Amino acid sequence: MAKTREWLFNTSTGMPVRITLNKNRLVSVNGSPETKVMALKAPESNFAERVFDIPLGNGEIAKLCVRNKQVLVYNGRNVETGEEYKTIKLPNWIYVFVALYVVNFFLILGGALGGATSAIGAYASANISADDKRPTLTKVLFCIGLYVVITAVSLLLAIAARAALKL
């Protein structure tokens, strides 16, 4: 059974709109031919959230924002809840942590395990940095703590792997 998601709302001019997302890959507006979602990627997309601009046919766009779940946004509001929705803007300092995780991958623990631990750390750090409810100092301290933990786990895995290869 194919996974289909549908949103119904009215534009600011009162025009009814039905947006259908099929198999998380194809989008259709008011029954028009399906378009690949990846072809609609918006410049606001970043490491923590993917954003897609869906043209509505009247010159306006809706934004499909994918983070932990899919949210359709029209005129800055979630069409399901009516609440204001802002796409995530990552602060520039987070890229220092992403670079540190890349260094961890190459210097401490490479391969699949190193890639997995580094990717988890970078993704978690990006999500922490995107939290608007916490002050910047708290977010930086959380990211430092996470980096220390991920580095320690990587070191332990590297030591265990080297010990296993000596057997």
Task: Evaluate if residue 16 carries a pLDDT over 70.
Answer: yes
Task: Evaluate if residue 45 carries a pLDDT over 50.
Answer: yes
Task: Evaluate if residue 71 carries a pLDDT over 50.
Answer: yes
Q: What are phi and psi of 66, to 5 degrees?
A: -120, 115
The whole-model pTM stands at 0.72
Q: What are phi and psi of 48, to 5 degrees?
A: -95, -20
**CA-CA distance, 12 to 28, in Å (whole number)?**
20
Percentage of the chain lying above the pLDDT 90 cut: 65
Which tens digits make up the pLDDT trace of 102-117?
A: 999 999 988 888 899 9
Which tens digits make up the pLDDT trace of 113-141?
A: 889 999 999 999 998 998 888 999 999 99
Query: For residues 49 and 56, is the Cβ–Cβ distance under 8 A?
Result: no
Give me the residues paired with residue 10 across strands: 16
What pLDDT shows up at residue 117?
92
What pLDDT shows up at residue 1?
45
Q: Which has the closest alpha carbon to 4: 21, 25, 28, 26?
A: 21
The single residue listed with the structure tokens 């194919």 is 2
Cβ neighbours of residue 137 closer than 8 Å, sequence gap 6 or more: none
